[in-house]
């Protein structure tokens, strides 16, 4: 099972590498030392080798908070099930891609349930793991690499929310 997952992951990366074009060369940024010879802090704007000053892009947004359960975010991907379980369906519907993009934005770790087969117990047919891995490319979006790695390193929230045990009623 793990071998087929690795093969699917390798296939997804190979296809992404074949589809994506390399970006144009960027100028080399020269970073000054922490302090100059007079002990002063450097200018916060880096200097490009041509002498032009550029500003740095803003830091990336912080990752979304870890959800306590994945059922709610994954419900938005229900329109994907026919595509993910039926090889005769060639493209996912737009509502599927919208749901996928919402899960990537709000709860990307929940996609681990689709990649590792946990969702199969809730579906009438098993999800094709290759289609699950390829879904972001088919929908024109990208899955952050840290999400793929977090499936093996982080604790993935359960699909179903935890149910509080019912206290027994005292008998009279």
The pLDDT, as a whole number, for residue 161 is 78
Question: What whole-number distance in Å separates Cα of residue 56 and Cα of residue 3?
Answer: 41
Pick the CATH number of 2-9+67-153 from 1.10.110.10, 2.60.120.650, 3.30.1330.60, 2.40.50.140: 1.10.110.10
Query: Rounded to 10 degrees, what is the CA torsion of 147, 155, 5, 90?
Result: -60
- Which pTM was predicted? 0.58
Q: Is the pLDDT of residue 98 over 90?
A: yes
The pLDDT, as a whole number, for residue 20 is 45
Q: Is the pLDDT of residue 101 over 90?
A: yes
Place of tokens 């590792």: 116
Give residue limits of the domains in the chain.
2-9+67-153
The pLDDT, as a whole number, for residue 63 is 60
Highest mean pLDDT among 67-71, 99-103, 143-147: 99-103
CB 119 within 8 A of CB 129: no
CB 145 within 8 A of CB 102: no
Question: What whole-number distance in Å separates Cα of residue 77 and Cα of residue 102?
Answer: 9
Partners of 53 in beta bridges: 47
Per residue in 104-132, pLDDT (tens digit) is 999 999 988 888 888 888 888 899 988 98
């Amino acid at each position: 099972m793990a071998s087929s997952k690795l093969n699917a992951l390798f296939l997804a990366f190979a296809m992404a590498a074949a589809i994506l074009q390399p970006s144009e060369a960027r100028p080399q940024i020269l970073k000054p030392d922490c302090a100059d010879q007079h002990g002063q802090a450097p200018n916060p704007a880096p200097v490009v080798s041509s002498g032009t000053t550029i500003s740095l892009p803003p830091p990336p947004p912080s990752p979304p908070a870890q959800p306590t359960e994945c059922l709610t975010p994954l419900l938005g991907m229900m329109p994907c099930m026919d595509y993910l379980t039926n090889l005769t369906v060639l493209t996912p519907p737009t509502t599927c891609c919208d749901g996928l993009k919402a899960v990537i934005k709000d709860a990307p770790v929940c996609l681990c349930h689709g990649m590792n087969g946990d969702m199969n117990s809730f579906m009438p047919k098993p999800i094709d793991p290759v289609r699950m891995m390829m879904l972001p490319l088919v929908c024109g979006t990208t899955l952050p690499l840290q999400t793929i790695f977090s499936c093996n390193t982080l604790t993935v929230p359960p699909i179903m929310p935890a149910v509080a045990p019912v206290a027994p009623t005292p008998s009279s």
